[in-house]
Structure 1
């Protein structure tokens, strides 16, 4: 069974976090999906972290329901890899079989750290500096996959 890694960027809505970008990479790190999501009622774009603003979502965003449907198709039948996947799946309004999830936040040896942020794990285990300013969901998905493959090779 093939692995795919996902990472999402969220913006703040008035009552909850809203999905703003979804990136998926395969086990070679190739991008197989990378889309912005149209959102209304955004309270804060968190632009200094997400790099996302109203203009990007307006010009490049596609409807949430389309993103949700496309992501569901892409991850179906695959092992889903990511970091703190609970938040990403919740934002997508999707579920995935628990036995087909590898969450770098929870797997050993990474989970033995008090707060195993992706940034910390990348530096500590891969020698990579990520999230130096704006987060890149493609880079974060690739990093989660690299961390996964250290523990669960292809």
Structure 2
């Protein structure tokens, strides 16, 4: 009899998302108040456990100490790229043919693009473009060559077509061309487009006729900007752009290694897309394609539709307010999870505005 009471109490104090168990219901309430569990978290397709990132889900399925039952099923029916669980080994093979992407076209087109400047920023066909990816390649400045200076920039649309690509003439002298990775020689920059001109072209194209102060996340004309480590790229171009319009694969919580540590773009592309980049001489077009593919994969996830999906939405402000403590303690774990919301903007929400 005592065992049944203890088991029932333990079940009542078990988080419905991450399955952590607590001695007291008030401890579970506090956990839900600070964990921000939601339908947007990566979730195990077998046991339905919520994970903070795809890296933690990967560890749960195939890490050093995985959940054994989940690992056994995943080993025969799990996709190692998107971490989905398929109905059968045959369904997995069909799925992985589509899920494992190729970087061949990116490499070929990137090399072809080296033949000259591409500038379609004024092209009428790009007016309807809502999402673009940006990447830069840096050469070195300063006495020791450690100062990053943008020497090549690429901008593509969601179909991986080049909108703008050009060598860039930095404002400061170049002291290290980093040829082994950039492939850039002094003569490429001698008559290159000046940084100020590149900056204006990119800024104008991103804003798309919208004043900077007027840009809003929904319903405006400004474009969503995708990239990896975009703060660094935009800083090197001296371009300003609102954070609400930026989708950075280095800062997106589901793609991060930990809550404070990013994964490299090279790792993300290999792990989640299934091909290699940044081998030998690197081209910004290749990086643009990789970040766009990652963004599109994250955006295409199908999650439960919620009227107010973010914890920061005013309507959710009191969901776990301290003055509701008694009411929250009467809820079961599933009800608490239903009231919980995400603390980051899930990219699947972009698909609802397009």
Q: Same fold (TM over 0.5)?
A: yes
Q: Could you say which residue in structure 2 is the equivalent of 1:42? A: 174
1:59-118, CA deviations, whole angstroms, 9 ceiling, x for partnerless residues?
4x1111111111111221101100010110100111111110000011132113654111
Q: Distance in 2 between the 1:150 and 1:112 partners?
A: 18
Corresponding residue to 2:186 among 47, 54, 57 = 54
1:111 to 243, 256, 271: 256
Deviates most, 9-18 or 61-70: 9-18
**Change in CA separation of 1:150 and 1:108 when aligned onto 2, cut-off 3 Å:** farther
Alpha carbons 2:130, 2:223 under 8 Å: kept:
yes
Distance 1:134 1:87 in 2: 20
| TM value normalised by structure 1 | 0.93
- Structure number with the bigger relative contact order (C-alpha 8 A, sep ≥ 6) is 1
Does 2:276 align with 1:129?
A: yes
In structure 2, stretches of 5+ residues that fail to align are: 1-128, 208-221, 301-350
The match for 2:132 is: 4
Q: TM-score, structure 2 length as denominator?
A: 0.42
How big is the shift at 1:142?
0.9
- 1:87 to 2:232 alignment: yes
Could you tell me how far 1:29 is from its partner in structure 2?
0.7
More strand per residue: 1
**CA shift for structure 1 position 2:** 1.1
Q: Structure 2 residue aligned with 1:66, among 173, 178, 197?
A: 197
Mark the runs of 5 or more structure 1 residues left unpaired by the alignment: none
CA-to-aligned-CA distance 1:9-42 (integer Å, 9 cap, x gap): 1111116321101100001111000010123511
CA RMSD of superposed structures (Å): 1.6
Residue pair 2:154, 2:284 contacting (<8 A) in 1 also = yes
Aligned residue number for residue 102 of structure 1: 247
Whether 1:143 and 2:293 are equivalent positions in the alignment is no
- 2:276, 2:257 → 1: CA distance? 20
Matched pairs, number: 153
Q: Which has the larger radius of gyration?
A: 2
Aligned to 1:27: 158
The CA distance in 2 between the partners of 1:139 and 1:74, in whole Å, is: 21
Q: Distance in 1 between matches of 2:254 and 2:275?
A: 17
Distance in 2, matches of 1:79 and 1:110, equals: 18
